A = this chain, B = another copy of it.
Amino acid sequence: MGHGTDGMIPTVASEPAVDAVARTMHALATPSRVHLLLRLRTGPRTVGELVDDVGMEQSAVSHQLRVLRHLGLVVGDRDGRQIRYRLHDDHVAQLLDEAVFHVEHLTSGLTDTPGLTDA
């Protein structure tokens, strides 16, 4: 059972929502950001720790963290001269888990030619 639109089916789903979905899902459309988010899902980490975890440069990590910040997915708290990042709330963690879950359970029935179930 899914939450969300229980019962009522979105006949067309408001147009504005379309852009909002695309914009937010954009955060999960890049390996580097997914990597960072999954890392933060295990708990708060400083930028330096994240740099060590994923194989990215400090600048790249900072840039991506800014993107995630603007999307409201992560929050940074200053601790001394370093900044500790964390997922914004459980909502984000849940979204992450579901993304991973769905991907791992996608019936891989890829199709190359339309009109056929497989080819």
Instruction: Give the contacting residue for A107; candidates B28, B89, B101; CB below 8 A.
Output: B89
Residues from chain B with Cβ under 8 Å of A110 in the complex: 69-72
- Asked if A57 is an interface residue, CB under 8 A from chain B, the answer is no
Question: Do A5 and B91 have beta carbons less than 8 Å apart?
Answer: no
A103 to B77, CA, bound (A): 24
Interface residues of A in 68-112 (CB under 8 A from B): 69-72, 75-78, 83, 85, 88-89, 91, 94-95, 97-112
Q: Would you list 11 pairs from A and B whose C-beta atoms are within 8 A, ordered by A residue?
A: A3-B104, A5-B97, A5-B100, A9-B42, A11-B42, A13-B100, A18-B35, A20-B103, A25-B34, A66-B114, A95-B98
